[in-house]
Amino acid sequence: MLDLELLRSFVSVVDSGGFTRAGERVHRTQSTVSQQIKRLEDDFGRVLLNRNGKTVTPTDDGERLLSYARRILTLAEEARDVLARPTTDGAVRLGIPEDFAAYRLTQLLGSFARSRPGLRLDVRADQSKYLRRDLERGDIDLALIKRDAGEKGGIAVWPERVHWVTSKKNPIDTKAQSLPLVFFGAGCLYRTRAIHAIEAAGRNWHMAYTSSSLSGIQAAVAAGLGLSILPQIAVQSDHRVLTAKDGFAPIDKTEVALVASPDASPATLRLADRLAEFCSEVQAKAA
């Protein structure tokens, strides 16, 4: 019989890309997680993970097991919930970036809430700087935040692909004396990266359009009011991606991190597992 704890650690290592973060996620030490993976490999008689320095990726056998492991863990969780569902699961307060709110994530959250009638799910979509603040204050229990790559902390972390974009129909003049920009207000990670990149290239800029909503930024770019930086999932068909050939070097070293409060409830950690799986799928599609 397959050990659910071993499967859970295996999935966590794959989703987080390493043993240390996987240990934080399943509340085990790095060495314990490593031993669990070794036991699982011994049980199957197959190498399940490629260990290249700090980078850990599944082997072909590991990829095959991963699909089954996710399904087994999901079924086990459903069985546990059906047989021992409390009268109330309390509340889970989740913070997400607005581009994720406009993506398929809402379907996942709806399914999660319907599977737990006793749970009150409180979701807020906002800029990462505010979500980080609310998490530190204890106003939310779990958050997906955008941040500079390499920051410490988090259940799981994924590198993010972002692009310079302009209007496909009415593109801005990339040779203009001052480049018009379209962004969220001050404190936005992409806005800061864009300004630094433009100034490092010796160019001038001005803020042509500031919006508090992603849809406003997307519409302003499509209308030709200026250029912006958007994550791949937020780039629309009426946008044109600018590249180094256009004079805009790639923006890298940003990431999405899943961060939970230190005293996260079991319901919060279960939602964190679902979100980690979702983000891993999004990353795979973007690769």
pLDDT tens, the chain, 287 aa long? 678 888 888 888 888 888 777 777 778 888 888 888 888 888 889 898 888 877 788 889 888 898 888 889 888 887 777 666 555 568 899 999 888 776 678 888 888 888 888 888 999 998 899 999 999 999 999 999 999 888 888 888 888 889 999 999 999 999 999 999 999 988 888 999 999 999 999 999 999 999 988 999 999 999 999 999 998 888 999 999 999 999 998 887 889 999 999 888 888 998 999 898 888 877 766 65
Domain presence at residue 148: no
Q: 113, 233, 239, 216: which is closest to 164 by C-alpha?
A: 239
Domain presence at residue 63: yes
Task: Give the helix ranges, DSSP H, for 128-260.
Answer: 128-137, 189-200, 214-222
3-state secondary structure of 227: strand
Structural domain boundaries enclosing 172: 162-246
- Per-residue model confidence (pLDDT) at position 225: 97
* In the block, residue with structure tokens 């001038």: 204
Are 94 and 142 in contact by the 8 Å Cβ rule? The answer is yes
- Per-residue model confidence (pLDDT) at position 249: 87
Residue 190 φ/ψ, nearest 5 degrees: -65, -40
Q: What is the DSSP letter of 231?
A: E
Domain presence at residue 145: no
Q: Which of 51, 68, 84 is the last residue of a domain?
A: 84
Domain presence at residue 34: yes
Q: Which of 21, 50, 84 is the last residue of a domain?
A: 84
First-to-last C-alpha distance (Å) of the chain: 35
- Per-residue model confidence (pLDDT) at position 142: 96
Domain presence at residue 202: yes
Residue 141 φ/ψ, nearest 5 degrees: -100, -25
- Per-residue model confidence (pLDDT) at position 122: 93
- Per-residue model confidence (pLDDT) at position 88: 57
Full-model pTM? 0.66
Are 193 and 254 in contact by the 8 Å Cβ rule? The answer is yes
- Per-residue model confidence (pLDDT) at position 285: 64
Domain presence at residue 113: no
Domain presence at residue 95: no
**Cα–Cα distance, 21 to 280 (Å, whole number):** 14
Tell how far CA 157 is from the center of its chain.
7
Q: What is the domain count for the chain?
A: 2
Residue 73, domain CATH: 1.10.10.10
- Per-residue model confidence (pLDDT) at position 22: 76
Q: Which of 35, 64, 84 is the last residue of a domain?
A: 84
Domain presence at residue 55: yes
Q: How far is CA 74 from CA 7, 88, 239, in A?
A: 11, 20, 38
- Per-residue model confidence (pLDDT) at position 282: 72
Q: How far is CA 41 from CA 3, 4, 36, 59, 74, in A?
A: 12, 14, 9, 11, 21
